Amino acid sequence: MEFVYKGIILLISLFPFIIGSELDYDGWLHIRLYHALNDNSIPHFTERGNITVSSIKNGVSSIAQAGLDPSQLTAIKTLANNDQRYRLKAVIRTYSGFESTYLTSAPACHLLGTEFEDILTVWLDIGGEPISVTQVSPGPCMTNLPTTKMWTTSVQIRTPDAGPTPDTASYIYKLEKEKEARERGETKDNRSFLAKYWMYIVPALIFVVLTSAANPDAAAGGGGGGGQRQ
């Protein structure tokens, strides 16, 4: 039993290091951004800019985006007046050569309220490959054009969390206390009679059944002793 306790404790102690080793990677991402400024059900995307994430582990990135021209400013203002959403498409190419496309959106009035400030979050799996992109603009919601026509974009890279670390010390303490209580006979056993002694009852029943099957003549002889003699 002591060997089992030590094995459990060892696995719990190594669990955080096993999870952490899966996240020990790095690489780069190249993101091409396209936005749709129309309010039709079918978006018409035009190029907005490029983002290069040189290290997904550290989140280091460089952003190149052109300013909005007068027609684009007017289109975004129209979206805001109609309570429509600004739609964004991100085409991501990874260091492994994998390329994927993601769609996201934000209220157009929030972009005006923050003077074209937005936050792009790229979610990665444990292998460093993108699985989702989200755009957030904190607002407030406004319909007036800001004084700037330039984007202010922040990029965040999110990877899976290792999860909470097990409370190894408390678990070990609990096991030791239970072990000491069993050794002193202080642990109360509330199990039923069958639950406590089934390992003795079952072999006895099997023995009786096997014995009866092996001596059918004896059983038959016992049953015919009551007949009358002619």
Secondary structure class of 29 (helix, strand, coil) = strand
* pLDDT (tens place) for every residue of the chain, 230 residues total: 454 444 444 444 444 444 343 445 688 999 999 999 998 889 999 999 999 999 988 889 999 999 999 999 999 999 999 999 999 999 999 988 889 999 999 999 999 999 999 999 999 988 889 999 999 999 899 999 999 999 999 999 998 765 555 666 666 767 777 777 767 766 566 667 777 677 778 788 887 877 777 666 655 554 444 444 44
Q: Which amino acid makes up residue 140?
A: P
Contacts of 95 (CB under 8 A, 6+ apart): 27, 28, 29, 128
pTM here?
0.61
**Alpha-carbon distance values, 38 to 74, 139, 200 (Å):** 11, 20, 80
Contact between residue 154 and residue 120 where contact means Cβ atoms under 8 Å apart: yes
